[in-house]
Amino acid sequence: CFLSLQKREISNFDYLMYLNTLAGRSYNDYMQYPVFPWVLADYHSETLNLTNPHTFRDLSKPMGAQTLERKHKFIQRFNEVEKTEDLSAQCHYCTHYSSAIIVASYLVRMEPFTQTFCSLQGGSFDVADRMFHSVKSTWESASRDNMSDVRELIPEFFYLPEFLTNANHFELGCMQDGTVLGDVQLPPWADGDPHKFILLHRQALESDYVSAHLHCWIDLIFGHKQHGSAAVEAVNTYHPYFYGDKTDFNNIKDPLIKSTILGFISNFGQIPKQV
């Protein structure tokens, strides 16, 4: 299948969906929803230049290592685990790049995801400033600004313009700066048009640059840099509870501990099966 990808016999989108399926990811499970990469780093230009390498995100690095400063902070966190603590909990990230709440937050303007999001939030929408309201600010949070945010994307970013509009006129709240939440704010190069955003974003996914570097991201998410020494070197280790297939629930006798771990996985996500 990878040979077919190199020959451009299948699209990058189809290949990623194929890998997600192999790894046990499914639209039917918010906790193991298909995961797709951020492919762009330019959400400020008036026009999108897909021939410029600087337009793109570094696909060889996880979201936590997109800037040197942030990468060093996560390495410091990894190294500062007290020797008296259980070293199995040593990790770079205590949050995950894909979870039920991340999926529902992206799709909150569409049912049934609206009700799912509210249910996960205890029955109501989140504080407006924390809601998904801008592609640019979400990229900046996940790649640079927020040490608790390393989220990736979902497939809908590459084919479904409807999730970017508040067609149902939900009252999503008002941000501290007075902005009333409605449609998702798009990059200047999209000209305020969700269809144009999806078109250009899909073109970016299928671009020569992404085709040449996508295997690096696949190694991080689905491949040999998922765990172990290769993951440590790549600044790509997550809390051990996220590695669900490596947790032997049969040996956990305490029902409180078991339910705590299951709740942790439910809330914060799970690493895909290695393929």
Supply 201's token pair: 């974003």
Supply 43's token pair: 């959400």
Q: How many Å apart are CA 171 and CA 168, to the nearest integer?
A: 9
Q: Which residue has the tokens 């696949």?
A: 218
Closest by CA position to 138, among listed 38, 32, 238, 271:
38
With residue 204 as reference, give the H or E element that holds it.
helix 194-205
Q: Using CA of residue 242, residue 142, residue 39, residue 215, what is the dihedral sign? A: negative
Q: Are 265 and 241 in contact (CB under 8 A)?
A: yes
Is pLDDT at 263 greater than 70 in this prediction?
no
* Domains in the chain with CATH codes: 1-266 (1.10.1540.10)
Range with lowest mean pLDDT among 21-25, 125-129, 154-158, 165-169: 125-129
Predicted local confidence at residue 84, as pLDDT: 47
DSSP category for residue 228: S
The whole-model pTM stands at 0.90
Collect all residues with Cβ–Cβ distance below 8 Å to 141 and sequence separation of at least 6.
149
Q: Exposed, middle or buried: residue 98 (CB in 10 Å: 0-12, 13-18, 19+)?
A: buried
Q: How many Å apart are CA 1 and CA 221, to the nearest integer?
A: 17
**In which band, very low, low, confident or very high, does the pLDDT at 20 lie, cut at 50, 70 and 90?**
very high
Q: Are 95 and 107 in contact (CB under 8 A)?
A: no
**In which band, very low, low, confident or very high, does the pLDDT at 1 lie, cut at 50, 70 and 90?**
low
Predicted local confidence at residue 126, as pLDDT: 82
Give residue-wise pLDDT tens across range 60-86.
Answer: 999 999 999 999 999 999 998 755 455
Q: Is 189 helix (H, G, I), strand (E, B) or coil?
A: helix
Give residue-wise pLDDT tens across range 187-240.
Answer: 999 999 999 999 999 999 999 999 999 999 999 999 999 989 999 999 999 988
